[in-house]
Structure 1
Amino acid sequence: MENVSGKAPVKGTGHREQTWTWHLPVPPDELWPLLSDTARMNEALGTPRYNVEEIAQPDGSVRRHARADYKGVKVEWDDRPYEWVAGRSFRNMRIFERGPLAYFGIDLLIEPDGDAASKLTYTIHVAPRGLLGRFLILTGLLRKSGAAIETMVRQAADHARGLRPLVFDYQPPAPPPGATERLQALSNELAAGDYAHGLAGRLAETIATAQEVDLIRLRPRRLAEAWHAPLRNVVELCLDATRRGLLTMSWNLLCPRCGGAKTQLATLDKLPRGAHCPSCNIDYERDFTRNVEISFQPAASLRPLSLGEFCMGGPHVSRHICVQQHLAPGETRQVEADLPAGEYRIRALQPGGESIIHHLGGAFPAIMAADDGESFGVTPGAPAPDGQVRMVNESRRMLSLVIESREWRRDALTAHEVTTLQAFRDLLPEQVLHPGEDVGIDHVTLMFTDLEGSTALYERMGDGAAYRMVRRHFAYLAEVVRDYDGALVKTIGDAVMAAFADPAQAVRAALAVQGGIDKLNRKYHIKTAREGKPVTEAVILKMGLHAGRCIAVNLNNRLDYFGSTVNLAARLQGKSRGGEIVLSEALAQDPAVQPLLNDRNARAESAELKGFDQPVPFLRLRAG
C-alpha cells in the first residue's frame, strides 16, 4: 500500500494494523466526495458527537483536544489535522490521553482501476492503552471496524451508481411530540404561499429525514444543486420558511482561511465587525461581499440537533483545499496530485503569510516554506513531473502546508447576494444593520429609473388617476427586478432605486423593463384630453445604471446604499431620455455584460456630471 502521508504511522507497544482492498465499479472522482465525507460516515455509523477545545500554542499552532463518552467510556484525545490529496487519499491519527486506546489512525487511498472503476485501499492503525484496549483488539476491534467500513464503502458505491437514494443507511431520531403534525401543517402553509415554487414538500422531507451533517448548516446553493432547482427559488423558499417557523436563520462570519462559521448570529444588526478563528488562530474582518454568509437550520421544535462534532477538519469540510500535508523541519515531500490550471493559494495551517500561484496547467511548480516558517513561494528548482506536487519545508518547525483553490466560497450565499433579492426585503424587513453601522460592498450594480414628464402627467390626468398609474408602474418594476434577482431599495417620488449583486442580471432587467413598457401601456390604456383631443397616456421611463463599490447602511429601518456609485447611477439616469437606458462605461465593459450589448444600437458619449471632476463616459441605448 502507498504510504498516504509520506511518513510511517506512530508505533507503540501493541501496535496493530490491517489493510483492506476493494475493487469498485465507480470512478474515483465519483467515489471521493462520498468517502471523504467522514462526518457523514461517522454519524451514519452511530458515532456520538464529541466536544473540541481549540487551544492556541506558543508557536501559533492550534491544539485540538477532544472529549467524548462512548457507551459510558470517557475518552480524550488530540485530534490531529488530516492530511490529504483531494480525489486520491487522506490520513488521520487520533492520539489518546484517556480511554482504552493509545492511538487510532486511518489511511485511505483511491486509485483508478481500469475504465470507470476504482481500487480502494483502507488501512487502520491502532495501539491499546491498558487491559481494556488489549481486550478490544484481541476480540476483533480491527475486524469489526473493517466490516463496518466495508458496509459503508459498498453503500457509497451503490449510491454513486444510482442504486440507492441515500449515501449511507441512516435512521433519524424520533421527533419530539407533535413535531410531525406541526411540520406537516407548516409545510402545507408554506406550499400555499407565493414562494414555495413546488419545493415545500422537499424541504419538509429534508427536515424530517436528513442527517444532522446536512441540517446543521443548510446552504441554499447546495440545496439548489441537490434538488436541480433554480437558486433564487430555493432562497425564497428558505426565507419564507424562516418567516413561517420551519427554519431558523443564521448570519455566519466565515474565516477567510478555513471557511468555518466561527461567529453565528440570528439577526443582521448583531453582526460584529470582526471575529477570531480559534481553528486558524487568526483575527479577521467582516466583508459583506465575501465572508458574511446566510444559512439555515430546522426549527428546534421540528427537528432538534445535537451539539458537538462528528468529525473536525476533514477533506469534505475544507473542499477548497486540494493538498494538505504535514512536513517536518527540512523535509521535502512529493505526492501524487494532478492540479488543473487555475489560481491557488499556498499557506500553512499555522498563522503566517501566503502566496498566490497562477497555474497555467501541466507541471505544478514546487512550493516552499521559507526558513522563517511564515513565508511561502515557489522553489527555484524544477517542478515535479506532471501529476505530482513537490513541497519543501525549509523552516525549523513542523508545518502543515496547504494548496487551496481560490473558489472556496462557491457554496456560500453571501449577505450581499441575499440582501439584493426582493424576497428578502419583502419577507424579512426587520433584518437590517444596527443604526449607525455601515458595511462596505465591493461590487453592487444600481439601477435608477424615473418617469418622463411626470409633472405634466399629473396635470393632465389629475392626481388620483396619475397616482394609480405611477403605482402600477412601481409594481411592474418590482416584478421585473425580482425576476432578475434584484431588489427595489426605495422609491423617491416617481423614481425607483434597485440593486443587483450580478451586473449582467441588472442589465437584463433594464432591457426587460424597457422591452415590456408597451405591453404595460396597452394593458392600462388611459385616455385624457390634450388640446381638446383624446390622448392615450403612456408610461415612458428613463434609466441609468452603474456598478462599483459603496456602503450599505440602515436608513429608516431599511437597507440602503450610499457612495459615489449611487450618485453616478442617479446622475446617469438624469442623462437618459424617454425609452433609453444609460450605462456607465465601466458597467458596459464588464465581461458578462458585453455580450448583452453586441446587437444593440448603443452610442458612446461622455458628459460632465455634478459631483464628478472629470467627464464621465457612458453608453446610450434603446431597448428596442
Structure 2
Amino acid sequence: MTEIEQARAWSPRVISKFETLIRSGDDQALYRVNPLAFARDRAIAEPEAIDLFLHAARCGLFDMSWDVLCPQSGMVLESFGALRTLQTHYVCGLCDVSGDTDLDDFIEVSFSVVSPHLRRLPFNEPQTLSVENFHWKLRFGNDGRLPGQDVRFLDVLRGFVRGMTFLPPGTTTMLRADLDPGSLSGVNVQTQAAFAVPISGDPVLAPTLLKINYDGKRFLPALPAVPPGPVVIEVANTGPDRGALLLINWPPELVALTTKPALDFDPYVSGGALLARQTFRQLFRSERVDEKEGLGIRQVTFLFTDLKGSTAMYERLGDLNAYALVREHFALLNAAVHQHSGAVVKTIGDAVMAVFSRPSDAISAALHIFEEIDRFNGDNVRPGIVLKMGAHCGPSIAVTLNDNLDYFGQTVNVAARVQSLAEAGQVCISEALYSAPGVSDLLAGRGVVAFDAPLRGVEGDATVYRIMRG
C-alpha cells in the first residue's frame, strides 16, 4: 500500500477507500473488479481509479486479466493474463454463437486480489467452489441486461435452467428434469462444449431416458429429440478431467430467434481503452501483441503533432540548445496527453503520435496543448515553440513494432495526412472526428473552417475542419 501511495499524487482519501475495499469487501467484490464501478460507487474520477488498479497490479497486489465476454450472455468465456496471449475469436456454447470481437468490444480488463497472504479468494481455486458458485459467480458477470431494459440476463436465464452438476471423470452422473416445448441444451461453461436437442411432439408422462457421452471435448446425446415431460439424463464422462454441465430449457420464442441481440453492459475498461492509456504503457512495457497477428480496434483516435520550423530553430540555436527545447516540448505534450486519458505512442523526429480511446479526449488534449504552448512561450525568453496538429478517428489494428505497442492501418495514415494540412498554430481534424460524440460541444464558440482536400486512401476530396485559435 505504501508503494501504491507513493506512486503518484492521489486525490484525498483515494488510498483509504482502496484499502477499505481490500479489508472489508466480500470475496465477490475483490474478484474481477471493474475500476469504473469502483470509481462510480466511491465518487472517484475514472482515470484515477484506472491508474490506481494499474499500479496495484504492477506491484503484485492485484492480478490484471483480459476477459473475453460473450455479447449475448455476458459469460466470461476466457481470461488471459497477458496481452500477447489474448485471442479475440470467441465461442459461446450457451448461446451457440461464435465470432470475432475487437479490443474495445466485449474484452474487459478486470482486477482480482492475487495474494493468498492478503485475502484468500475461493474463486482463485475453482475446484473448491460449489456447483452454484462455479457457474453463477465464477463464469458470469452480474450486470448484463436485456437490450433497452433493466432486466438482468442472469435472472431470465435462471428461470430456464433445469439443472447443473459437476461431471467427475470416469463416472456417470444422473439428472432429472421436467421439460417444456422448445430446446434442451447443455454447456460446460469452462470449455464451451455444448449440445442441443429439440423438445417436440406430444407430452409424455413416463420419464424419457437421454444418455449423453462426454469425452472432455464434446457432448454426444444418444437421441435426436425428446418429448415434453419428465426426462432422466445420464451423462458418462469418459474424458480425463472433471467436467461441468448447465442444463437449459429454452422456450420456442427464443429458439426461433435467428440473431440473438447483444446485452447492455455497465461501462468497463476495455482492452482498447487500456492500450490508449499512458500509465499502462509506462508500467507494463513488456506487454506485447502477438507478432503473427494484430488485434482489431473498432474505434480509436490519433493525434499527430509537428514542430513548425524545427530546421531553422536548430540552425539558430545550435544543436544542444535546440534539442533541450525539443525535449521540453515533448514533456509538455506527454503531460497534456496523459491528463486527457491518452498515451504518446512514439515520437518521429520532432513529431509526436498520440492515441485516445474517446474522440472528445483528443480534442480536449489538442486545445489544452495550445494553451500550454502559449504559457510556455510566455515564460521563456528563447524563441517560441510553434506546433501544428491533426487528428482522425476510425478502426485500427494494435501491433508490436520495434518492441513497442503501436497501431497500423488506414486511420493512422489519414490522421498523419490531416496533420500535414494544418498550418502553424492550427489543428485540423477529419469529418469523422468532427461528427464524433462530444466533439462539437467542445468546439462551440471557436472558429471552425471547413475545406475540401485530398486524403490518401480516400476516394475524391474529403472535408477537413481547421480549428482556429482563441
TM-score band, normalised by shorter chain: 0.7 to 0.9
Q: Does 1:227 align with 2:42?
A: yes
Q: Shift of the alpha carbon at 1:293?
A: 1.3
Task: Report the Cα distance in structure 1 between the residues aligned to 2:196 and 2:406, rounded to whole angstroms.
Answer: 37
Q: Spell out, residue by residue over 1:458-512, the C-alpha distance to the aligned partner (whole angstroms, 9 max, x if none).
A: 0001111111111111111111111111111110000000111111111111111
Task: Report the Cα distance in structure 1 between the residues aligned to 2:141 and 2:303, rounded to whole angstroms.
Answer: 40
Task: Report the Cα distance in structure 2 between the residues aligned to 1:596 and 1:588, rounded to whole angstroms.
Answer: 10
Q: Does 1:291 align with 2:106?
A: yes
Q: 1:543 aligns with which of 382, 389, 399?
A: 389
Q: Shift of the alpha carbon at 1:237?
A: 0.5
Partner of 1:262: 77
Quick check: 206-215 or 446-455, which moved more? 206-215
Distance 1:492 1:404, change over 3 A: same
Partner of 1:569: 415
Distance 1:310 1:569, change over 3 A: same
Q: 1:303 aligns with which of 116, 119, 122?
A: 119
Q: Shift of the alpha carbon at 1:196?
A: 4.3
Task: Report the Cα distance in structure 2 between the residues aligned to 1:592 and 1:404, rounded to whole angstroms.
Answer: 30
Q: Spell out, residue by residue over 1:110-143, the C-alpha distance to the aligned partner (whole angstroms, 9 max, x if none).
A: xxxxxxxxxxxxxxxxxxxxxxxxxxxxxxxxxx
RMSD: 3.0
Task: Report the Cα distance in structure 1 between the residues aligned to 2:447 and 2:378, rounded to whole angstroms.
Answer: 25
Partner of 1:192: 6
Task: Report the Cα distance in structure 2 between the residues aligned to 1:223 and 1:622, rounded to whole angstroms.
Answer: 39
Partner of 1:557: 403
Partner of 2:51: 236
- Is the radius of gyration larger for structure 1 or structure 2? 1
**Matched-pair contact (CA < 8 Å) for 2:359–2:437:** no
Q: Does 1:597 align with 2:453?
A: no
**Matched-pair contact (CA < 8 Å) for 2:66–2:79:** yes
Partner of 1:317: 142
Q: Shift of the alpha carbon at 1:267?
A: 0.6
**Matched-pair contact (CA < 8 Å) for 1:255–1:284:** no
Partner of 1:277: 92
Task: Report the Cα distance in structure 2 between the residues aligned to 1:450 and 1:466, rounded to whole angstroms.
Answer: 15
Distance 1:284 1:404, change over 3 A: closer
What amino acid sits opposite 1:283 in the alignment?
S
**Matched-pair contact (CA < 8 Å) for 2:301–2:393:** yes
Q: Shift of the alpha carbon at 1:598?
A: 2.5
Quick check: 426-435 or 443-452, which moved more? 426-435
Q: Spell out, residue by residue over 1:427-469, the C-alpha distance to the aligned partner (whole angstroms, 9 max, x if none).
A: 1111221223201111111100001100000000111111111
**Matched-pair contact (CA < 8 Å) for 2:74–2:141:** no
Task: Report the Cα distance in structure 2 between the residues aligned to 1:432 and 1:195, rounded to whole angstroms.
Answer: 28
Distance 1:440 1:399, change over 3 A: closer
Task: Report the Cα distance in structure 1 between the residues aligned to 2:9 and 2:280, rounded to whole angstroms.
Answer: 11
What amino acid sits opposite 2:465 in the alignment?
L
Q: Shift of the alpha carbon at 1:544?
A: 0.3
Q: Shift of the alpha carbon at 1:523?
A: 2.7
Determine helix, strand or coil for the equivalent of 2:120.
coil
Q: 1:328 aligns with which of 153, 168, 180?
A: 180
Distance 1:486 1:210, change over 3 A: same
**Matched-pair contact (CA < 8 Å) for 1:420–1:485:** yes
Task: Report the Cα distance in structure 1 between the residues aligned to 2:106 and 2:462, rounded to whole angstroms.
Answer: 32
Distance 1:258 1:595, change over 3 A: same
Task: Report the Cα distance in structure 2 between the residues aligned to 1:399 and 1:405, rounded to whole angstroms.
Answer: 13
Distance 1:393 1:247, change over 3 A: closer
Task: Report the Cα distance in structure 1 between the residues aligned to 2:77 and 2:109, rounded to whole angstroms.
Answer: 13
Task: Report the Cα distance in structure 2 between the residues aligned to 1:503 and 1:303, rounded to whole angstroms.
Answer: 39
Task: Report the Cα distance in structure 1 between the residues aligned to 2:444 and 2:10, rounded to whole angstroms.
Answer: 36
Determine helix, strand or coil for the equivalent of 1:619.
strand
**Matched-pair contact (CA < 8 Å) for 2:288–2:400:** yes
Larger RCO: 1 or 2 (CA < 8 Å, sep 6+): 2
Q: Shift of the alpha carbon at 1:351?
A: 8.1
Q: Spell out, residue by residue over 1:291-325, the C-alpha distance to the aligned partner (whole angstroms, 9 max, x if none).
A: 11111111224222113353744998254132725
Determine helix, strand or coil for the equivalent of 2:460.
coil
Distance 1:439 1:606, change over 3 A: same
**Matched-pair contact (CA < 8 Å) for 2:63–2:113:** yes
Task: Summarize the alignment of residues 188-587 of structure 1 with structure 2, pairs less than 5 Å apart.
Answer: 188-194=2-8, 196-198=10-12, 199-300=14-115, 301-306=117-122, 307=126, 308=129, 309-310=132-133, 312-313=135-136, 317-321=142-146, 322=151, 324=156, 326=160, 328-329=180-181, 408-526=264-382, 537-587=383-433
The normalised TM-score by structure 1 is: 0.55
Distance 1:414 1:450, change over 3 A: same
What amino acid sits opposite 2:401 in the alignment?
L
Partner of 2:239: none
Determine helix, strand or coil for the equivalent of 2:265.
helix
**Matched-pair contact (CA < 8 Å) for 1:218–1:296:** yes
Q: Shift of the alpha carbon at 1:611?
A: 4.7
**Matched-pair contact (CA < 8 Å) for 1:282–1:351:** no
**Matched-pair contact (CA < 8 Å) for 2:303–2:353:** yes
**Matched-pair contact (CA < 8 Å) for 2:72–2:260:** no
What amino acid sits opposite 2:83 in the alignment?
L
**Matched-pair contact (CA < 8 Å) for 1:584–1:617:** yes
Q: Spell out, residue by residue over 1:347-395, the C-alpha distance to the aligned partner (whole angstroms, 9 max, x if none).
A: xx9989xxxxxxxxxxxxxxxxxxxxxxxxxxxxxxxxxxxxxxx9657
Determine helix, strand or coil for the equivalent of 1:618.
strand
Task: Report the Cα distance in structure 2 between the residues aligned to 1:393 and 1:189, rounded to whole angstroms.
Answer: 54
Task: Report the Cα distance in structure 1 between the residues aligned to 2:332 and 2:288, rounded to whole angstroms.
Answer: 25
Distance 1:223 1:351, change over 3 A: farther
Task: Report the Cα distance in structure 2 between the residues aligned to 1:224 and 1:400, rounded to whole angstroms.
Answer: 40
Determine helix, strand or coil for the equivalent of 1:508.
helix
**Matched-pair contact (CA < 8 Å) for 2:277–2:341:** yes
What amino acid sits opposite 1:521 in the alignment?
N
Task: Report the Cα distance in structure 2 between the residues aligned to 1:437 and 1:509, rounded to whole angstroms.
Answer: 31
Q: Spell out, residue by residue over 1:272-293, the C-alpha distance to the aligned partner (whole angstroms, 9 max, x if none).
A: 2423334444434332111111
**Matched-pair contact (CA < 8 Å) for 1:195–1:233:** no
Determine helix, strand or coil for the equivalent of 1:409.
coil
Q: Shift of the alpha carbon at 1:610?
A: 4.3
Partner of 1:28: none
Q: 2:460 aligns with which of 614, 619, 622?
A: 614
What amino acid sits opposite 1:621 in the alignment?
I
Task: Report the Cα distance in structure 2 between the residues aligned to 1:400 and 1:431, rounded to whole angstroms.
Answer: 43
Q: Shift of the alpha carbon at 1:268?
A: 0.4
Q: Runs of 5+ in structure 1 lacking a partner?
A: 1-186, 331-348, 353-391, 527-536
Determine helix, strand or coil for the equivalent of 2:39.
helix
Determine helix, strand or coil for the equivalent of 1:257.
coil
Number of aligned residue pairs: give it: 371
**Matched-pair contact (CA < 8 Å) for 1:517–1:539:** yes
